[in-house]
Amino acid sequence: MTGSLIILTGAGISADSGLATFRDADGMWSKFNWQDLATPEAFARDPQQVHAFYNARRAQLSDVAPNDAHRALAKLERDWMAAGGQFLLVTQNVDDLHERSGSKNLIHMHGELTKMRCVHCDYVDVAFEALSTDLPCLNCRRADVLRPDIVWFGEMPMQMDMIMEALESCTLFAAIGTSGTVYPAAGFADLARQAGARCVEINLDATDISTGFDECLTGRASDTVPNWVAGLCETTP
């Protein structure tokens, strides 16, 4: 189990924990208009509406728990690192289910529901309660400056330098539960393949980018990921 393993996860891995995906038939963007909720312009127009959307999603975290797919990836990280390999888990998810299942080497490229950021001084703090425009920043003390520490449409995902550097030396790449429609994450498999990595997709169904993978496994993440991890541990020297 040596080499450099990068796992990319999307909303599908948390679907089996009860969190809605975005683009499935009952997904979030079928019920809500992302232009009103997930852009800097929407926040400037109506911050309370944006806060209400993310407050509800943050509150939901205490009602859900990691599933077998999250747990399998945490175990894979421990085993892979113990064998001397490099491991990076990149998630597009803003929930905290990966860390709650024990994943350590983890990048939340689209931010985290449990963090807030001051638009005035850039101070980032934990956010476990509801946010509002009335709350002051704990650092600069201004009001009307706190936003969810979430990457919105039109904004640069987080820690891209680290992700790009890791992709350059990747030997095995797996994309789990992501539709492959949002860039730059949707382009990671191509970059990994260019670096010589074997690419595996795990999803409920084939996606628009499935042809870019060496292997596509279909099924619910909570079934397919533990099986894939078990196979990997048996077969990878």
Cite the active site residues: 110
Residue ranges binding ligand OAD (CB under 6 A): 10-12, 15-16, 21-24, 27, 38, 92, 110, 151-153, 177-179, 181-182, 203-205, 207, 220-221
Q: How far is the CB of 11 from ligand OAD (least distance, A)?
A: 4
Report the residue number, 109 or 137, with the smaller CB distance to ligand OAD.
109
* Contact indicator for 189, 212 with CB cutoff of 8 Å: yes
Q: How far is the CB of 207 from ligand OAD (least distance, A)?
A: 5
96 secondary structure, DSSP code: S
CA separation for the pair 53, 37 (Å, rounded): 7
Report the residue number, 4 or 224, with the smaller CB distance to ligand OAD.
224
Q: How far is the CB of 12 from ligand OAD (least distance, A)?
A: 2
